[in-house]
A and B are shown apart, each in its own frame.
Chain A
Amino acid sequence: AQSVTQLDSQVPVFEEAPVELRCNYSSSVSVYLFWYVQYPNQGLQLLLKYLSGSTLVESINGFEAEFNKSQTSFHLRKPSVHISDTAEYFCAVSRRGYQKVTFGTGTKLQVIP
């Protein structure tokens, strides 16, 4: 079985400051890793994903995440946040060859002006 842990339920950060949202996963086999973002009362949107290859993946709006196999982590980072980044962020994992995706409990990012 696979699982995802997002230890921080809320992360407040000042505008233009850096942020890291933590994600650790547990799986005995190779996995795909994802970060999704959810704005209030909306569905989730894919932010970025790791399937294979380079362990550092980037999104079009400045977020990046690094797959660390030894630490079983996939932390999300942004060097300078904007007010519009205020949202809930979900880390997710799926086993290669399986349809099911397991989501973490989410981290609410609150950007303070």
Chain B
Amino acid sequence: DGGITQSPKYLFRKEGQNVTLSCEQNLNHDAMYWYRQDPGQGLRLIYYSQIVNDFQKGDIAEGYSVSREKKESFPLTVTSAQKNPTAFYLCASTPPGTQETQYFGPGTRLLVL
């Protein structure tokens, strides 16, 4: 089955620690996105990538980093500079040549110990 997978489902971060959230898709989509979801605030864009080896900052990129070495993979690193990382993180992708429907993964919930 084609789709987007995110791992882990739950992730715990200690103070001063960097953690990496995985996002993989086998839909052959070019564009991929990372969103952060907090209660009552909707989804806020962290980073997005339209092609391999290229990515752009979204609205709340500070304290986060990404890479796009393969079309299928778009990992997000939450660095120690992100002081309030507790949130639900969603990865999404869009079919090539269009900006229509976004396909979402199941999400990763990050908690701080």
Contacts and interface: CB of A to CB of B under 8 A. Distances in A.
Contacts of A9: 40
Interface residues of B, number: 26
Main secondary structure of the interface of B (DSSP, over half): strand
Nearest to A90: B42
A45 interface: yes
Interface of B: 4, 6, 31, 33, 35, 40-45, 48, 50, 58, 90, 92, 94, 99-102, 104-107, 109
29 contacts: A6-B42, A9-B40, A34-B101, A41-B107, A42-B106, A43-B6, A43-B105, A43-B106, A43-B107, A44-B90, A44-B92, A44-B102, A44-B104, A45-B104, A46-B101, A49-B100, A99-B31, A99-B99, A100-B48, A101-B33, A101-B45, A103-B35, A103-B42, A103-B43, A103-B44, A104-B42, A105-B40, A105-B42, A106-B40
